[in-house]
Amino acid sequence: MLQGCTVQPLLTDLYQFTMAYGYWKSSKEKATAVFELYFRESPLGGEFTIFAGLQDCLLFLSKFQLTKEDVKYLQSVLPPTTEQGFYDYLRNIDTSAVTLRAVPEGSLVFPKVALLVVEGPLAIVQLLETPLLTLVNYASLVATNAARFRLAVGPEKRLLEMGLRRAQGPDGGLSASRYSYIGGFDGTSNVLAGKLYGIPLFGSMAHSYITSFTSMSEVEVQTLKPALEGQPAVDFVSLCKEWLARVCRLLQVPQDQINSSELAAFISYAMSYPRNFIALADTYNVMRSGVPNFCAVSLALHELGYRTVGLRLDSGDLVQQSLKVRRTLRTCAAEFGVSWFSDVPIIVSNGISEKDLIDLQNQRNEIDSIGVGTHLVTCTSQPSLGCVYKLTQVCGKPRIKLSEDREKMTLPGKKTAYRLYGPDGSPFLDLLTRDGESPPRAGEEIQCNVLSKRGECLRVRAARVETLYRVYFKHGQVSQGPCTPLEIRTHAQNSLTNLHPQHKHLQEPVPYQVAVTTKLCDLLTELTKESSPLPWQPDSSNHTA
Q: What is the pLDDT of residues 82-103, one digit of tens each?
A: 999 999 999 999 999 999 999 9
Residue 534 — pLDDT band, cuts 50, 70, 90? low
Residue 481 — pLDDT band, cuts 50, 70, 90? confident
What is the model's pLDDT at position 3? 57
| Model pLDDT for residues 490-525, shown as the tens digit of each residue | 999 999 999 999 999 999 999 999 999 999 999 998
For residues 198 and 488, the answer to whether their CB atoms sit within 8 Å is: no
What single-letter amino acid sits at 144? Answer: T
What is the model's pLDDT at position 539? 47
The Cα–Cα gap between 59 and 55 comes to 6
Lowest mean pLDDT among 123-132, 378-387, 533-542: 533-542
Domain ranges of the chain: 22-145+382-415+468-499, 204-367
The burial of 533, by beta-carbon neighbours within 10 Å (0-12 exposed, 13-18 middle, 19 or more buried), is given as exposed
| Mean pLDDT value across the chain | 94
The dihedral over CA atoms of 288, 293, 299, 305, expressed in degrees to the nearest 10, equals -160
Within 8 A by CB and 6+ apart from 404, the residues are: none
Can you spell out the DSSP letters for 185-227?
A: --EES-HHHHHHH-PPB-----HHHHHT--SGGG----EE--S
Query: Which alpha helices (H) appear in 347-498, and where do they start and end?
Result: 354-361, 374-377, 485-498
Look up residue 289 and give its DSSP letter. I
Mean pLDDT, rounded, for 27-42 = 97
The burial of 377, by beta-carbon neighbours within 10 Å (0-12 exposed, 13-18 middle, 19 or more buried), is given as buried
| Model pLDDT for residues 367-423, shown as the tens digit of each residue | 999 999 999 999 999 999 999 999 999 999 999 998 767 778 899 999 999 999 999
Residue 540 — pLDDT band, cuts 50, 70, 90? very low
What is the model's pLDDT at position 4? 56
- Percent of the chain scoring above 90 in pLDDT: 91
What is the model's pLDDT at position 320? 97
What is the model's pLDDT at position 410? 93
What is the model's pLDDT at position 397? 96
Check whether 535 has a pLDDT greater than 60.
no
Closest of 145, 121, 131, 175 to residue 37, by C-alpha: 131
| Model pLDDT for residues 337-367, shown as the tens digit of each residue | 999 999 999 999 999 999 999 999 999 999 9
Check whether 215 has a pLDDT greater than 60.
yes
Check whether 544 has a pLDDT greater than 80.
no
Look up residue 286 and give its DSSP letter. I
Check whether 187 has a pLDDT greater than 60.
yes
* Cα R_g (the chain), whole angstroms: 29
Buried b (16+ CB within 10 A) or exposed e, 447-485: ebbbbebebbbbebbbeebeebbeebbbeeebeeebbeb
What is the model's pLDDT at position 39? 97
For residues 189 and 202, the answer to whether their CB atoms sit within 8 Å is: yes
The model's pTM is 0.94
The Cα–Cα gap between 122 and 100 comes to 14
Cα→Cα distances 325→211, 330, 342, Å: 22, 9, 10
Q: Domain 22-145+382-415+468-499 classified CATH 3.20.140.10?
A: yes
For residues 454 and 157, the answer to whether their CB atoms sit within 8 Å is: no
What single-letter amino acid sits at 264? Answer: A
Q: Give Cα 224 to chain centroid, integer Å.
A: 42
For residues 293 and 258, the answer to whether their CB atoms sit within 8 Å is: yes
Strand pairing of 234-235 and 223-224?
antiparallel
- The CATH code for residues 204-367 is 3.20.20
